[in-house]
Amino acid sequence: MTRGLFRYDVTACETKVIPGNLGFVAQLNEGRHLKKRPTEFRVDRVLQPFDPAKFNFTKVGQEEVLFQFENSGGDDSYFLNNAPIIAVDRAPNVIAINVSPIEYGHVLLIPRVLDRLPQRIDPESFLLALQMAAEGGSPYFRLGYNSLGAFATINHLHFQAYYLSVPFPVEKAATHKIPLSEDTKKNGVTVSKLINYPVRGLVFEGGNTLDDLATVVSNACIWLQDNNVPYNVLISDCGKRVFLFPQCYAEKQALGEVSQELLDTQVNPAVWEISGHMVLKRRMDYEEASETSAWKLLAEVSLSEERFEEVKAYIFSAAGLVQYDEEEEEASDGEGPTAYVPVKVTPLPVAEGCLVLP
């Protein structure tokens, strides 16, 4: 920040928790949409080839790169203050600052940056993102992913991450556990459906290893992107929970199905907004922000119940998941799937994010 690398001072942005059951977080960031890099590709195709002529992360200045992030090959984590980046056999994974931040520590994880991969998830890159969440070791450090068509603005494979020192509303939302077959359960991954939340989504948790969780979720994402379904992903709980949101807001915009009132807010609901961190661009929207207004916007992002169930069935097939009939499950164990409400997170002894007003 002192070197002038950011486009604005995010610490000067007003932030508050909106009163209500879920505690949506609102931030007033009036300059971000004016200073943020514009989208340079079609928004109606989730998969598009990498275009070296357009902005990509190989054009980022070295001063924006914080460090390389690689598997050590052992059980220990360590930091080398100085080490050469050798790309003879493999391009490096790098962590760079986000020059248009929306919170404290807002960074980009760019897998194999010199390989110029387009914005599409694969098992290896998604495992890397889970490993970053695990190494972060803080419940307030989350990673997010936006596909093309779901408000990614750069077609070069990357994840975002930052600290927010309160729970995201989606982390507090109740879930309904989906009963799975015994064979499906062997990898230790459980799947739940969000309930009483404005955007329909799936929650993947657990796994015998991070690789188990990465394989299931990445297979789900691969089906979505191969079938041109835009989606967003939130990685929380140090890599132990993953929220997957198929969405259709850009499609509704193109069809003229979004009200002018919502369009006037200029909010593009990507992973952070969908998860409950509302980045607002007009003071009037910030001052009048309510749980009702947040819910109204996010409800436009969600697939219909019928479409969501259809997509869920395809996702399950692609991820190798077999759902039990809930009535059979209840008859076999005497009780049905339970709704999970997370325990309140205990604040850390030191501040890890921008101050949030009560």
Strand 175-177 and strand 339-340: the pairing is antiparallel
pLDDT, tens digit, for every residue of 207-266? 999 999 999 999 999 999 999 999 999 999 999 999 999 999 999 999 999 999 999 999
Domains of the chain as residue ranges with CATH: 14-73+84-319 (3.30.428)
Tell me the residue type at 55.
F
1-10, 80-89, 312-321: which is most confident = 312-321
Indicate if the pLDDT at residue 42 is higher than 50: yes
pLDDT at 319: 94
Paired with 141 in beta bridges are 163
Q: Comparing C-alpha atoms, which of 168, 120, 111 is closest to residue 353?
A: 168
Pair 245, 145: CB distance under 8 Å: no
Q: Which of 40-54, 121-135, 162-176, 217-231 has the lowest mean pLDDT?
A: 40-54
Instruction: Report which DSSP code applies to 105.
Output: T
pTM (predicted TM-score): 0.89
What would the two tokens of residue 57 be? 């992360």
Q: Which residues are catalytic, by number?
A: 158
Taking alpha carbons only, the member of 137, 127, 24 closest to residue 77 is 137
User: pLDDT per residue over 100-114, tens digit each?
Assistant: 999 989 999 999 999
Give the orientation angle of helix 210-226 with respect to helix 305-318, to 10 degrees.
Answer: 120
Q: Does the pLDDT at position 338 exceed 70?
A: no
pLDDT at residue 76 in the model: 85
Strand partners, 205: 190, 241
Region 28-57: what's the mean pLDDT?
A: 78
How high is the mean pLDDT of the chain? 87
Model confidence at 85, pLDDT cuts 50, 70, 90, reads: low
The pLDDT value given to residue 61: 87
**What pLDDT is recorded for position 340?**
41
How confident is the model over 3-10, as a mean pLDDT?
89
High-pLDDT (> 70) share of the chain, %: 86
* Residues in CB range of 98: below 8 A, 6 or more apart: 106, 107, 108, 160, 162
Q: Inform me whether the pLDDT recorded for 326 exceeds 70.
A: no
pLDDT at 31 over 70: no
Per-residue confidence (pLDDT) for residue 341, from 0 to 100: 45
